[in-house]
Amino acid sequence: MSLQKMIQAHPQVKDETEELILAARHAMLCSLFCTSCADACLAEDADMAQCIRYCLDCADVCTATARLATRRTAQNIDVLRSQLQTCIEACETCASECEKHDNEHCSLCAKMCRECADDCRKALPLVK
């Protein structure tokens, strides 16, 4: 089952935006990566408070982004555009922080955050 099929099944979807679907999919996945990374940071011996905070903030923003991107009835385009922009900023901030740490979970989180930000950037100009 795919998110694309679910959105195509919506009675008000006339022109599907593949980029927006990909951004929503990556945002959901990024939320899980960030949550997992924050949890792993708790187990580290070093002070990881800033990284944990950025990961949790990013996870919440990504979850909200995915939810807004999949709602198609009477869309509030201004809010969706703002949310995509916020997701880009949260992902870039989280990735920059995670890249400061020498552990695999932060490396994986940073990579996913960068992918999510890129997908949101690609979707942003198509949301009209």
**Residues 36-62: tens digit of each pLDDT:** 999 999 999 889 999 999 999 999 999
Query: What is the mean predicted confidence (pLDDT) over 112-117?
Result: 98
Residue whose structure tokens are 């006339």: 14
Domain ranges in the chain are: 17-126
Query: What is the mean predicted confidence (pLDDT) over 8-13?
Result: 54
CA 63 to the chain's CA centroid: 7
pTM metric for this prediction: 0.89
d(CA 52, CA 36) in angstroms, rounded, equals: 10
**10 or 100: which leads in pLDDT:** 100
Q: What is the identity of the amino acid at 51?
A: C
Query: What is the mean predicted confidence (pLDDT) over 96-102?
Result: 97
Fold (topology level) of 17-126 = Substrate Binding Domain Of Dnak; Chain:A; Domain 2 (1.20.1270)
Tokens of 110: 């940073």
Give the per-residue pLDDT at 128: 78
